[in-house]
Amino acid sequence: MLIVTSMKLFILAALFGFSLAQHNPNFKHGRTSIVQLFEWRWVDIAAECERFLGPKGFGGIQISPPAEHIVLTSPWHPWWQRYQPIGYKLCSRSGSEDELKDMITRCNNVGVNIYADAVINHMCGASGGAGTHSACGSWFNASKKDFPSVPYSSWDFNDKKCKTGSGEIEDYGDIFQVRDCRLVSLLDLAVEKDYVRSKLAEYMNKLIDMGVAGFRVDACKHMWPGDLENIYHRLHNLSTAWFPSGSRPLVYQEVIDLGGEAISANEYVRLGRVTEFKYGAKLGTVFRKWDGEKLFYTRNWGEGWGFMSDGHAVVFIDNHDNQRGHGAGGASIITFWDSKLHKMAVGYMLAHPYGVARVMSSYRWNRHIENGKDKNDWMGPPSYGNGTTKPVPVNPDQTCGDGWVCEHRWRQITNMVIFRNVVNGQPHSNWWDNQSNQVAFGRGDRGFIVFNNDDWDLDVTLNTGMPGGTYCDVISGQKEGGRCTGKQIQVGDDGHAHFRISNTEEDPFVAIHAESKL
């Protein structure tokens, strides 16, 4: 049986060009979750790995794009300047190449992987001007498509291939426009050219050799799968300083597909994992109780809801785009602005076995809603007057200050990251629901979680499937020094426990796991 299974895997790997390996996040020490530290400086990430992420069992960090980017002052240093590269030097708003290398080393040393956000579809906007207004001071001329620090010239862009009069994507139903024309005026690279592919692979390989574990690849819908496959095949194996010999970089590709799109996420799953945008959009609708949705409908959550297969998905409640109303999901997306629902939705994601989970860690901005749109969604991270990013200060209560939200440090979310580690590999089991918005489920005999998203109290005895004993609820508190700082849950020898959750509680859910037992 083992020989047959191994042969099947070998044939599959051969068919898919060994790309199956690029679905593996290469987590260390039984870790299971990624956190997106959006716009953090490298020095702050290094410190966070050592003081918090490593000890708390986080598996990896998605960092903001590390390549040299344009510097914009109208609007003032917006977050999206990071997504407009002018070259591949490793200096950015987050810091220098030396600081980046130090951060990668220090995070790897405490078991936390680094996944770089790779912007390889395009360079900066066509109206980006000329000069040295870039993160490292490298000269470029956007109007002439001249980027000497790479170098790229007008030969390396898709303008002649694009068939629209404006050179922009005008019809998202036309796959040729989507992949060969400019996305919101960003200069579209000719990724089919061997020279361009070689420069992109060279940039990504430099990061791999420094110790990154993989990449979130931006705007993959706007590139042909065959071109991406060629680039991914050029990538080095991971550094043997921290990873087993022969390990391939994780690739997870941004493909926005809510269904009914001309380009499907399924076109990319053979190359690596893909961001499952339907996940946060649907779960947000469920927790908001919109469109008649109820939490008990999630009994078959995952592939049963029309999502891509489990082994291909990276899942998330929100990301840097859709928490601002961009990307996908619209108003259903639940963010830190709605903290009660956000903790519940993230808790559900981390308790459920589907996909590789990514938690968002944000910063606040001055929201200004007009006609349903946020006029200030462009605002960059907390900054000094000259536009440089502020450090992330940690308060005595372990939250962050100075505008940094740090959802990953919220007790409820941190403890659910630990829960996911403890129950890893265990089946979804012991489902219960009240035919409405109260549900519970277990993960084998290692964990159990109960949600009350109804407008009335939950009061019920359930089969947890767990060994008898006293457990600390890791939502209202945790186990510390042989006692519970929050609720205690008594599980009988028959695996049953009584749960009482008021709908008025700050966090109307309860979670216990094998390591929270007294």
By C-alpha distance, which of 457, 417, 402, 36 is closest to 216? Answer: 36
By C-alpha distance, which of 21, 14, 60, 90 is closest to 237? Answer: 21
Query: Average pLDDT, stretch 136-151?
Result: 98
Distances (CA, A) of 274 to 125, 250, 255, 311, 479: 26, 11, 7, 10, 36
- Which residue is catalytic, options 97, 174, 218, 433? 218
Q: Which two tokens stand for residue 405?
A: 């939200």
pLDDT surpassing 90 at residue 474: yes
pLDDT surpassing 90 at residue 228: yes
SS3 assignment, position 142? coil
pLDDT surpassing 70 at residue 116: yes
pLDDT of residue 21: 74
pLDDT of residue 19: 53
* Euclidean distance between CA atoms 191 and 228, whole angstroms: 8
433 is catalytic: no
Q: What are phi and psi of 322, to 5 degrees?
A: -80, -10
By C-alpha distance, which of 147, 154, 145 is closest to 126? Answer: 145
Burial of 517 (0-12, 13-18, 19+ CB in 10 A): middle
Q: Are 422 and 279 spatial neighbours (Cβ–Cβ below 8 Å)? A: no
pLDDT surpassing 60 at residue 495: yes
pLDDT surpassing 70 at residue 13: no
Please say whether the dihedral angle defined by the alpha carbons of residues 208, 211, 213 and 214, taken in this order, is positive or negative. Answer: negative
Q: How far apart are the first and last CA of the chain?
A: 41
User: pLDDT digits over 329-362, tens only?
Assistant: 889 999 999 999 999 999 999 999 999 999 999 9
The DSSP call for residue 134 is B
Locate all alpha helices (DSSP H) within 219-315, ordered by sequence.
Answer: 225-233, 277-288
pLDDT confidence bin for 233, thresholds 50/70/90: very high
User: pLDDT digits over 379-423, tens only?
Assistant: 999 999 999 999 999 999 999 999 999 999 999 999 999 999 999
pLDDT surpassing 90 at residue 161: yes
Which residues, including other chains, have CB under 8 Å from residue 5's CB and lie 6 or more apart? Answer: none
Distances (CA, A) of 249 to 117, 236, 271, 272, 336: 13, 8, 12, 10, 31
Q: Are 104 and 211 spatial neighbours (Cβ–Cβ below 8 Å)? A: yes
- Which residue is catalytic, options 188, 227, 254, 473? 254
Q: What are phi and psi of 495, to 5 degrees?
A: 85, 0
Query: Average pLDDT, stretch 224-251?
Result: 97
pLDDT of residue 10: 42
pLDDT confidence bin for 371, thresholds 50/70/90: confident
pLDDT surpassing 80 at residue 177: yes
Q: What is the mean pLDDT of the chain?
A: 95
Please say whether the dihedral angle defined by the alpha carbons of residues 394, 397, 401 and 403, taken in this order, is positive or negative. Answer: positive
Q: Which two tokens stand for residue 248?
A: 């391939």
pLDDT of residue 15: 44
Q: Are 201 and 234 spatial neighbours (Cβ–Cβ below 8 Å)? A: yes
- Name which residue leads in pLDDT, 7 or 71: 71
- 224 CB-side CA count, 13 A: 14
SS3 assignment, position 360? strand
* Euclidean distance between CA atoms 365 and 338, whole angstroms: 14
pLDDT surpassing 60 at residue 218: yes
Angular region, 291: left φ>0, alpha ψ -120 to 50, beta rest:
left
Q: pTM of the prediction?
A: 0.95
DSSP string, 458-488: EEEEEE--S-SEEEE-TTT--EETTEESS-E
pLDDT of residue 113: 98
The single-letter code of the amino acid at 485 is: T
117 is catalytic: no
pLDDT of residue 20: 56
Number of neighbouring beta carbons within 10 Å of residue 460 = 16
User: pLDDT digits over 288-333, tens only?
Assistant: 999 999 999 999 999 999 999 999 999 999 999 999 988 788 899 9
Using a pLDDT cut of 90, give the percent of the chain over it.
93
Query: Range with the lowest mean pLDDT among 20-24, 39-43, 163-167, 446-450?
Result: 20-24
pLDDT of residue 17: 47
Go through the chain and tell me how many residues it has. Answer: 518
pLDDT surpassing 60 at residue 11: no
pLDDT surpassing 80 at residue 64: yes
- Name which residue leads in pLDDT, 373 or 115: 115
Query: Range with the lowest mean pLDDT among 102-106, 323-327, 461-465, 497-501?
Result: 323-327
Q: Are 460 and 468 spatial neighbours (Cβ–Cβ below 8 Å)? A: no
- 331 CB-side CA count, 13 A: 9
